[in-house]
Chains A and B, each alone.
Chain A
Amino acid sequence: SQQGEEDPQALSIQEGENATMNCSYKTSINNLQWYRQNSGRGLVHLILIRSNEREKHSGRLRVTLDTSKKSSSLLITASRAADTASYFCATSYSGYSTLTFGKGTMLLVSP
């Protein structure tokens, strides 16, 4: 399977703590994206990192990419209850025009 695999499957933290989610994939990618999904809703694009980039920031989000290990991590700093959602990585593979999504990490941030 070419899909990304997120780790952990579920994560429970307190408000103010940092949350780290990881994604591993199998073959060469053009880019890797992270999406958020609130319960029963559509996905919302968070951030995209290209294969020639190593780190990107957007507000409280920090994404890293290690192409040698075929892995990416999403760090949410100073988490809030509103960050409670499922987070998915999606990979754009060379030669394919569509995205492949993983199963997601379910994040619960308690007040």
Chain B
Amino acid sequence: ETGVTQTPRHLVMGMTNKKSLKCEQHLGHNAMYWYKQSAKKPLELMFVYSLEERVENNSVPSRFSPECPNSSHLFLHLHTLQPEDSALYLCASSQALAANEQFFGPGTRLTVL
């Protein structure tokens, strides 16, 4: 257990569905991250939040919408996804934005039909 939980662990959705991924960290960290992990590709950083403010958005399509209501919770809202969005979505947190170590959740395996 890393202190970072993600729900759901698995999600299958159609292209017209709307769903949300949830991440919660119990470590008192100030920075949270969403990553996308696809087969045979490097981990892609999607969004970064520091003290509930979005500080980085790496050209992610608007069908992905993050939300950080407080420093312990991070959501990724999904709508009208494409099959190529199927991947493992990982949430991570760190003590501060430039901190040395990131703590990862177990991920949500997303399949878009």
Q: Check if B40 sits within 8 Å of A43, measured CB to CB.
A: no
Query: A57-65, A68-76, A99-107: which one contacts chain B?
Result: A99-107
A40 to B37, CA, bound (A): 10
Question: How many A-B contacts at CB < 8 Å in the complex?
Answer: 55
Q: Check if B90 sits within 8 Å of A43, measured CB to CB.
A: yes
Query: Which secondary structure dominates where chain A touches chain B?
Result: strand
Q: Check if B41 sits within 8 Å of A103, measured CB to CB.
A: yes
Query: B14-22, B71-79, B98-106: which one contacts chain A?
Result: B98-106
Beta-carbon contacts of A19-43 to B below 8 Å, as 1s and 0s? 0000000000001010100001111
For A88, the chain B residues whose CB sits under 8 A away are: 43
Q: Which of A40, A98, A103, A104 contacts B109 (CB 8 A)?
A: A40
In the complex, whether A79 has a CB less than 8 A from a CB of chain B is: no
> Count of B residues near A, CB < 8 Å?
26
In the complex, whether B88 has a CB less than 8 A from a CB of chain A is: yes
Interface residue tally on A, bucketed by range: 20 to 34
Identify 13 new A-B residue pairs, CB closer than 8 A, beyond the known A43-B90, A44-B2, A100-B45: A3-B42, A33-B100, A40-B88, A40-B109, A41-B107, A42-B90, A43-B43, A48-B100, A98-B48, A100-B42, A101-B43, A103-B40, A104-B42
In the complex, whether A84 has a CB less than 8 A from a CB of chain B is: no
In the complex, whether B53 has a CB less than 8 A from a CB of chain A is: no
A92 to B94, CA, bound (A): 13
The verdict on A92 contacting B107 (CB below 8 Å), with A43-B90, A97-B55 known, is no
